[in-house]
Chain A
């Protein structure tokens, strides 16, 4: 885990550019993919211009010394807002360009999720359920030693959801994960099933940044879990 301060370092430079984007700086020169997809504040946007507009409406100020972890194709940032809330930011990076972005943090008052055709799905495909769906094979930059803690952090993320949830029917999916030295970052999407009937589910995002020892034991964990995202209105034809 490192704190970026050196502007000549590529990671530090990317962090500066990410911070400018998140602050909603007009005319930000941050290198953004034209196809930038952002999932932040309960909004999903597609395209560079809509991302700039989103953060202009909902700026997010990073502190001067956020916890940052980088890989050639990813950047993970955990920070604490002035209000004391932990916020996680994860970016896919292509040749130094921000290509995709998630923010695990607050949800804006104007958040809305597009209507969608409901799909009946079984997240577990077995009665022998696990809270974490994922496979280390899908995350080639993740050290094998880190995988058990990636799974454990998924459990912590779900455990940290405050409202009553049907724990055995809720699940975290590992969306991205990578290691850097003795640290790793893991991005999750959480599907949280309510405990009451009728059963409703909502989605959250979570980011864990952890350090592990040479034996794989957890040394330190920082975790950000978003507020619940709006549930799409069902489309019935």
Chain B
């Protein structure tokens, strides 16, 4: 799915502001309608307000039942651990999370949106949430006071006040470490569970990898801010021209990637890209959606939702080569200043990657692979 409006549309309604740099009082203030939002509840002033406020109402004000008026009955939520279907699954998942982590503060870092067809909005919502384990978590056990501070990108397709499809990417390996658990051990337990029962439930992963392998890349219209970052990622991950790609980003780029990877400069940016790519042979990569919005202080935010796949045939950050086909799907949020990337915040679920490496999520076990 790609943006499909006119070339100038990425910065329409400039008074619909990013949450970046705003106070909580400003974010929660009620406003009159700032842009056409046919079919949306009157409380929402614009699409950014819709995303930030409904998240606040559901997670912080605990009106979880609002999911029933904010998600379509047949919503599909895609994650790298598999899809979940239906609004009631969203309700039950939210109840479970809040029963374990009641104090979750869902801080909206940015909402990068587009109107992909009249009345059909796409928002890429970057959230960093702080929460404490005061209940019981299926993955991490009983209350122990451990605190999480993980970043999530929730990409939502929204129409008539309801999210009709969502892609949810969370830095879950970082969260595991914060909960004092070894990501590999958590992923191995998940992978072993994945091998039980009817494994056709994991068919989604092969289907997704098939789409990545066969994708013909669509590109933004000329002048769209997402074009530059997309071309850089292609230069890096498709053509393996990392130096040429990095030459077009800021020498001062700030890089934040999953599981604590944080650094500055072109060399570190290349390091993150190469680390992932070096482990996966027969590599395929595609950008599935893009959006851009103005930021304060003359900067621009770009959101790219992407997917990649390849054969885990080289040792690297994920351990010894497993020989398995691996799907990595994530979202990269870039900040552009003077047209160059000065910040790259990339989120993907590295725990779900490890789960695949360790035989989970329906991975075939080829000859020669080692666990």
Contact = CB atoms under 8 A, between A and B. Distances in A.
Contacts of A114: 174, 177-178, 260
A161 B19 CA distance: 38
Interface residues on A, range: 35 or more
Interface string B261-297: 1111111101110110000000000000000000011
B260 A116 contact: yes
B78 interface: no
A33 interface: yes
B164 interface: no
A133 interface: yes
Interface in B232-274: 243, 246, 250-252, 254, 257-268, 270-272, 274
A226 B115 CA distance: 45
B177 A33 contact: no
Contacts of A171: 265
A125 B261 contact: no
A122 interface: yes
A120 B108 CA distance: 31
B91 interface: no
Interface string A89-111: 00010110101000000000000
A23 B128 CA distance: 26
A117 B259 contact: yes
A48 B270 contact: no
A125 B340 contact: no
Contacts of A128: none
Contact of B264 (A31, A97, A173, A235): A173
User: Would you call the interface of chain B mostly helix, strand, loop, or mixed?
Assistant: mixed
Interface stretch (B20-28, B68-76, B117-125): B20-28
B60 to A, nearest CB: 12
B149 interface: yes
A73 B19 CA distance: 16
Interface residues on B, range: 35 or more
Contacts of A34: 19, 22-24, 27, 107-108
B302 interface: no
Interface in A18-55: 31-35, 46-50
Contacts of A138: 250-252, 337-338, 340, 342
Contacts of A123: 265, 267-268
Contact of A121 (B108, B258, B271): B271
A5 to B, nearest CB: 26
A117 B183 CA distance: 12
A138 B250 CA distance: 7
B64 interface: no
A65 to B, nearest CB: 28
Contacts of A73: 296-297
A175 to B, nearest CB: 6
A10 B262 CA distance: 34
8 contacts: A33-B23, A46-B107, A48-B24, A73-B296, A123-B265, A140-B338, A174-B252, A237-B318
The 4 closest A-B pairs by CB, nearest first: A116-B260, A94-B21, A121-B271, A119-B271
